[in-house]
Structure 1
Amino acid sequence: IESAHSRFPVIADADDRDNIVGILHAKDLLKFLREDAEAFDLSSLLRPVVIVPESKRVDRMLKDFRSERFHMAIVVDEFGAVSGLVTIEDILEQIIGERKSDS
């Protein structure tokens, strides 16, 4: 998998992007990427979706991320439509400023 991301929202139907059925972690796919890998059911690899409203305060979101031990949440508007996603890294950047690159 060529991506800088390690987690991916999975939708059930390409025509309904608001119906996110789970979060796929790239590391869970690794054992199935070998040529001799057996077939698998994608739904068995999905992690639960965490949903947060757009109106949720960043400090409250950080507290929830830390106490519930999740790293990504789907952000929805007041009608339940997906408006984006947020990661713990996004929240920390908002609180302490953008991280400096090591290079």
Structure 2
Amino acid sequence: MNPFEMVIGIVLIVTIGSIIRAKYGVHGHRGRDSGYGPDITPRDDAETKALQAEIRALKERIQVLERIATDNNRAVSLDEEIEKLRDRSLP
């Protein structure tokens, strides 16, 4: 391979790499940003907090369901409590 072909090869590799980085939104290593992932804006921060609250609520529900599923002694009393609630809701 002569030097001219090597220069063309390097230019092609750098160009293809730049196109791939632009496609996936990866930025350089300048400043605080590591260059990976999207930049976080205040709008995204509000959405993040809402999603974290939703995840927290779902985890609490899962804990309740796990407790119900693994508590064998309360299965009968749980059925009775559910029936009592159904009886109250009926007119």
Q: TM-score, normalised by structure 2?
A: 0.21
Query: What TM-score do you get using the length of structure 1 for normalisation?
Result: 0.19
Choose between structure 1 and 2: higher helix proportion. 2
With CA pairs under 8 Å and 6+ residues apart, which has the higher RCO, 1 or 2?
A: 1
Which of the pair is proportionally richer in strand? 1
| Structure ID, larger Rg | 2
